[in-house]
Amino acid sequence: MKLAPEVKERLRFLTRVVDKEIKHLEYAADQTFGVPLVLEAVERLDANPELAMRIEAFTSRFCRLQDTLGDKLLPVLLKALGEPERALLINLEKAEKYGWLESSEHWLALRQLRNQMIHEYIENAQTLFDALTTAYDNTDFLKDFADKLERQTSDLLE
């Protein structure tokens, strides 16, 4: 398949970005969860600005990686394969069919964590704690998806 030079460059750029975002997410995850994160610490975030900053970094990097994968790399890769431009949900379903994504429903459920980690935590420490631990438990899910997209991209660019 012959790809336009600008498509090739965009795919290369996005895979480099994804690699960096994964490294940053791993670092933030280690900083936030290296010592087990407990609900009591989340309940006292106002008194621990250092932990609040680590949580903010983890949250931001988790959401950013998910955005880059689902909203940027996946659509460009699908288009390079001759797929029409579609909405996120349809793209995720295509990714499932290609075998790159285990479950589009699981992806969407993880995307809902954003509101819980960014907005709802202001009122409810338990909601934040649950969302953070769920996101942390699913970092490998994101990294697996990234790896499959990157392998497909690499195959296309050869």
Tell me if 11 is assigned to some domain: yes
The pLDDT of residue 118 is above 90: no
- Long-range CB contacts for residues 106-109, cutoff 8 Å, separation at least 24: 106/138, 106/141, 107/66, 107/70, 107/145
Are the C-beta atoms of 45 and 125 separated by less than 8 Å? yes
Number of structural domains the chain divides into: 1
| Backbone CA torsion sign across 127, 65, 140, 112 | positive
Tell me if 158 is assigned to some domain: no
The pLDDT of residue 1 is above 90: no
The pLDDT of residue 121 is above 90: no
Domain holding 108, by residue range, is 5-153
Tell me if 131 is assigned to some domain: yes
Tell me if 68 is assigned to some domain: yes
61: exposed, middle or buried (C-beta count within 10 Å: 0-12, 13-18, 19+)? Answer: buried
Cα 43 vs. chain centroid, distance in angstroms?
25
Instruction: Provide the pLDDT for residue 114.
Output: 87
Q: What is the mean pLDDT of the chain?
A: 95
Of 1-5, 18-22, 82-86, 152-156, which gets the smallest average pLDDT? 1-5
